[in-house]
Amino acid sequence: MRNGPPKMIIVNFGTYSSDANSQRTFEDLAREKGWDMHASFVTPSEAQMRITDYERKKWISLFAGIGGAFLVFVAAYKIWEDWITAIACVLVGPVGIAWGFQRSNKG
């Protein structure tokens, strides 16, 4: 999974398909223009749909992260009944989990 908005090249396919005199393929035209051939070629409507989907997923993951941190805080507060310990669990917890995953993947 990569970070950032989806990588794509917005193309109006109608202008390229209407050029009936040319025997060149769309790939030849794209290489001639220097476009990145690893990106998706999409129409403007498809591009808008992908950007909207990316924005929706970004907000959902933000709210899921905030909700998870809140649940960790509440659970830690219920266990130790101390605000400072609960805040420390929220702040240091992800580091401990990452350390555990790192150790489990070493061998």
- The predicted-structure confidence for 12-69, as pLDDT tens digits, reads as follows 877 766 555 567 777 787 888 888 888 888 999 999 999 999 999 999 999 999 999 9
Task: Give a yes or no: residue 68 inside a domain.
Answer: yes
Report pLDDT for 48: 95
Report pLDDT for 101: 87
Helix or strand or coil: residue 38? Answer: coil
Beta strands 40-42; 8-10: pairing state: parallel
Q: Rounded to whole angstroms, how far apart are CA atoms 86 and 65?
A: 16
Q: Residue 56 sits in which domain range?
A: 8-106
Task: Give a yes or no: residue 42 inside a domain.
Answer: yes
What length is written for the chain? 107
Report pLDDT for 55: 94
Task: Give a yes or no: residue 60 inside a domain.
Answer: yes
Task: Give a yes or no: residue 65 inside a domain.
Answer: yes
Report pLDDT for 17: 62
Count structural domains, the chain.
Answer: 1
Strands (E), 1-107: 8-10, 40-42
Report pLDDT for 96: 87
Task: Give a yes or no: residue 2 inside a domain.
Answer: no
Q: CB–CB of 42/50 below 8 Å? A: yes
Task: Give a yes or no: residue 66 inside a domain.
Answer: yes
Task: Give a yes or no: residue 54 inside a domain.
Answer: yes
Task: Give a yes or no: residue 15 inside a domain.
Answer: yes
This prediction's pTM: 0.68
Residues 6+ away with beta carbon under 8 Å from 21: none
